[in-house]
Chains A and B, each alone.
Chain A
C-alpha cells in the first residue's frame, strides 16, 4: 500500500499496532464475551489522541489527515471492532459535523473535551420508524423562547450508554418535510435524558449500542448546529466521512481474519500435511488477500480525494459497500478454513465473522449504498 502511505503513515500504523497488541488484543475476546466497554483502554487511547485524530491542534486534536484517520481505525478494528466503532463514530459523525457546521463558539464549547476523549460523542438519527429513510424521523424540538423542548426516541445509538455529547436529529418544523429536520446537540445529564438498556448484539459487543430517550428535554437554542432545516445536509455530509471509517473498520476485521487464517492453515494438519498445502485452502487465501487489497485501494482513494478537497461521496460509498461485503466474505472464508474450530468461540475468527456482518447494515445498508452509487453513475 506504499502508493498511498507516506513515511508518517507507516510510523503511525506501527505505533497504533504496537498499542493494540499490548492493550487491546489480550482482552478483545473477553470484552466481547462480557459485552463490556473497556474504560481503562479508552483512557489510554484518549491520552494518545485517538479521539481527536483530525481535529486541529488549537482545539486539542492531532491535526492529522484522512489517510492517518483510516490507518488508526483500521488498526484498532483489527484488534477489536467494537472499539474501532467507538472511535470511528466519535471522530467522524460526532466530532466532524461540529467542526464542519458549528460556530466558533460551539467548537470552543464542545470540541476540546471531545478531542481529548474526556467526553464521548454519539450520532442519534435512527428511530423505530426511521432507518434507511432518515427523513421519516418523528422526534421533535419545539422552540420555547430561547430553548428547544425536545421529545425524541432514538434507537441503535453507537456509544449510547457512554456518550456525553449527542448529535440529535429532530424536527424543528413538523410541516416542512425533509427541510424541517435539524441537529441539536444534547448533553447527557440534561433533565429528561435517559439511556435504555444496551442492545444484546451479535457482534461489536464491546460497544454499548443503546436507545436514548428525551422527554421534554430543555436545551438552549445555541445548541442548534448549522441552522434550522439543515439536518439532512449535515447528516449526509457526516455519513460521507463516516463511511470511509466504517470501510476501514471492515478492512481491519478482514485483515485480522486473514492473519489468523494463515497462521491456522500452516499449523493444522490433515491428510499428512498442513492444510495450507491443499490447493482448495490456497484458493481461499488468495481470494481473501486479493479482495482485502482491492477494498483498501478503494478506501485509500476515498481518503486521498477527501484530503485533496475533492468531492468524495461516490468514492466513499463504493469503498464502504465493497469493503463491508468483502469483510463478510473474507471472515466467512476464515471460518471455513478453520473448520469446526472456526465455529467455536475458542478461535477469534468466530468473533470476526459476527463483527463483520453489521458493517453491511449501519451508516447505510448495502442496498442504500447501491442506490446512492447508481444515482451518481446515472447522473453523469
Chain B
C-alpha cells in the first residue's frame, strides 16, 4: 500500500490579538490541534508506506508552520497564499482547500484537526469532505487499514464507535489521539536548509476570485469583543462538615458537578 495522505494545517496566533493583527513568524505557531493530526499521518505512513503532503491556506507567515511540519517529517508542503483570499469564511476556505486537494490527486486520505485554537468553528474538515464528495469520519481516535478501506475508532459521549470508510476519505483527528512528538534539531535545520514550500495562488487552482475571499464568503465577522470572566470569592464559615456541605450544594446548584 502506498498511501498519499494530505494533512491540512493552519498557522494560528499565539496570543489573543489586541487591535490589528500582524502575523509574523514570532507571533504564529502551528495550530496545536493540528499536531496530533500530523502525527497520525506520519504514523500511518510509517506503518503502511506512502507520502504525506501538508497543505495550508493563509498569509505568508504560514510558512513557519509548514517548515515545522517538514521538520517533523512531511514530504511535501504547500502554502495557498493570495491577497484575494483575505476575509475568507469557513465555506470559502473549504472551497479553496477542496480545489487544491483535487489538484493533488490521487490521494487516499485527507486529515484535518478537529478545531483551531484561534477561531474554533470545527467547520473546515466536514465542509471540505462535502466539496470533495468523499466520506467523512470525525473525531477519530485511532486508525488502521482494513480489507476495504480505513477502520477508524471515534470517540463520542461515553461510547467508542468503530467505523469503516472507503478511500479516499476525509478524517478529522481527535486531539488526544496521537501524542505529537518534538521536531529534532536536525529536522529543523534540514527543513530550512533543504525544504521548499510551494506557493499556490487562485490561478494555480483555476478558481475565480468570486469563489474565495470576501466575495465567496456568505458569513461576515461583525465584531470581536474579549470576554472577561468575573471571579467571585466567597468565604464559607461554620464547621468543617457544614462548610463541605455548603460547598457541595453551591457546586451542584451552579452545575459544576452533578
Name A residues whose Cβ lies closer than 8 Å to a Cβ of B. Answer: 2, 5-8, 10-12, 14-15, 18-19, 47-50, 53, 57, 61-64, 68, 72
Contacts and interface: CB of A to CB of B under 8 A. Distances in A.
A250 B184 CA distance: 25
Given A19-B182, A57-B186, A8 B67 contact: yes
A10 B25 contact: yes
Output the residue of B63, B64, B182, B184 with the most chain A CB within 10 A.
B182
Contact of A48 (B63, B67, B182, B190): B182
Contacts of B26: 2, 5, 10
Contacts of A64: 185, 188-189
Contacts of A61: 186
A15 B184 CA distance: 9
Contacts of B185: 12, 48-50, 53, 62, 64, 68, 72
A307 to B, nearest CB: 14
B200 interface: no
B184 A47 contact: yes
Contacts of A7: 25, 63-64, 67, 192
Contact of A15 (B63, B186, B188): B188
9 contacts: A5-B26, A8-B189, A10-B26, A19-B182, A48-B182, A48-B183, A57-B189, A62-B184, A68-B185
Contacts, number: 61
Consensus secondary structure, chain A interface: helix
A11 B67 CA distance: 8
A12 B182 CA distance: 11
A63 B29 CA distance: 24
Contacts of B25: 7, 10-11
B117 to A, nearest CB: 13
B108 interface: no
Nearest to A2: B26
A309 to B, nearest CB: 18
B75 interface: no
Interface string B49-73: 0000000000000011001100100
Nearest to B180: A18
Nearest to A44: B182
Contacts of A18: 182
B186 A62 contact: yes
Contacts of B63: 7
B64 A48 contact: no
A19 B189 CA distance: 17
